[in-house]
């Protein structure tokens, strides 16, 4: 596959994860996933910004986007959007868990982790089903696109008043 085609395929593949990660900023709120409980170290498990509504809305939208993609790209089975979305959201929770262990408050910046946690989760969850796609070049393209795109979209969300911090 030519390089431009590989870039397009990488974006198309990872798009449900992008949507799953972004929607909780808009649709989140409500009861925290960790119920406000602390871990054995006395720090919050995930923090107040990780909510059931955000998780479920991200999972729903990402899965729906993935389903729509399967209509136009039959090489993807119907469950690929669900796997990518679930992985992205679990990856984001893992990033929040790590940030809490470092004593960072919800919304605080942890460079690199904040930009890639959801992608790592999405790729890990989808790998067993799509390992043939996962060339080094494919994965590098996904990360190379994601990091600046994540920074730009977060800055836009901040300017629109959807986020308290530009990261």
Grade residue 106 by pLDDT with cuts at 50, 70 and 90: confident
pTM of the model: 0.93
φ, ψ dihedrals at 83, nearest 5°: -60, -45
Q: What is the pLDDT of residues 61-93, one digit of tens each?
A: 999 999 999 999 888 898 999 999 999 999 999
**Residue 131 banded pLDDT, cuts 50, 70, 90:** confident
Q: What is the pLDDT of residue 59?
A: 98
Neighbours of 113 (CB within 10 A): 18
What pLDDT is recorded for position 21? 96
Gap between the Cα atoms of 23 and 83, Å rounded: 16
Residue 88 pLDDT: 98
Look at residue 122 and tell me whether its pLDDT is greater than 90.
yes
Q: Residues 113-141: what's their mean pLDDT?
A: 93
Please give the pLDDT value at position 133: 83
Question: In the predicted model, is pLDDT for residue 167 greater than 80?
Answer: yes
Q: How far is CA 88 from CA 4, 32, 118, 135, in A?
A: 25, 18, 4, 20
Average pLDDT for residues 137-159, to the nearest whole number? 94
Mean pLDDT of 35-55: 97
Q: Give the residue-averaged pLDDT of 127-135.
A: 88
Q: What does the pLDDT read at residue 46?
A: 97
- Could you tell me which of 111, 116, 124 has the C-alpha nearest to residue 92? 116
User: Residue 78 has what pLDDT?
Assistant: 87
Q: What is the pLDDT of residue 74?
A: 86
CA 107/CA 120 separation, integer angstroms: 19
């Amino acid at each position: 596959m030519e390089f431009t085609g590989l870039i397009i395929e990488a974006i198309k593949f990872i798009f449900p994860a992008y949507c799953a990660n972004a929607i909780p900023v808009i649709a989140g709120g409500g009861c925290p996933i960790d119920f406000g409980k602390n871990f054995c170290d006395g720090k919050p498990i995930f923090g107040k910004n990780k909510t059931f509504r955000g998780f479920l809305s991200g999972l729903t939208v990402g899965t729906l986007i993935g389903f729509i993609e399967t209509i136009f790209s039959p090489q993807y089975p119907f469950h690929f959007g669900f796997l990518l979305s679930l992985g992205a959201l679990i990856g984001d929770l893992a990033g929040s868990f790590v940030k809490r262990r470092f004593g960072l408050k919800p919304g605080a910046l942890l460079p690199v982790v904040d930009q890639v946690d959801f992608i790592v989760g999405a790729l890990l969850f989808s790998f067993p089903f799509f390992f043939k796609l996962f060339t080094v070049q494919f994965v590098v393209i996904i990360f190379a696109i994601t990091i600046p795109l994540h920074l730009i979209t977060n800055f836009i969300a901040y300017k629109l008043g959807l986020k308290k911090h530009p990261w």
